[in-house]
Structure 1
Amino acid sequence: MSSTEPTSGGGPDTAAPGDRVDSAGRLTAPEVAEVLALARAAGDADGADPLDEHVLLRMRDPEAPAVHLTARAADGTLTGYAHLDTTAPAEGVGVELAVHPGHRRRGTGRALARGVLAATPGPLRAWAHGDHPSAAALAVDLGFTRARVLFQLRRPLTEAVPAPALPEGVELRAFRPGEDDEAWLAVNNAAFAQHPEQGRWTLDDLRVRFAEPWFDRAGFLLAVDAATGRLLGFHWTKVHERQGSARIGEVYVLGVDPSVHRGGLGRALTAAGLAHLRDRRGLDRVMLYVDESNTGAVALYERLGFARWSAHVNYQRD
Structure 2
Amino acid sequence: MTTETAARETIARETTARLMIGTDLAAAMVERAAARAKVLQETTGVQPCLATVLVGDDPASATYVRMKQNRSKKAGIGSRSIVLPAETTTEELVAELTKLSEDPEVHGILLQHPVPAQIDERAAFEAIAPGKDVDGVTMHSFAAMAFGEPGFRSCTPGGILRLLEAYDVPLAGAHTVVIGRSPILGKPAGMLLLASNATVTYTHSRTKDLAELVRQADIVVAAVGKPNFVRGSWLKPGAVVVDAGYNEGNVGDVHFEEAAQVASLVTPVPGGVGPMTIALLLEQTVDAAEAQTAARR
Query: What's the TM-score, normalizing by structure 1?
Result: 0.29
**Which structure: larger Rg?**
1
Structure number with higher helix proportion: 2
Larger fraction in strand: 1
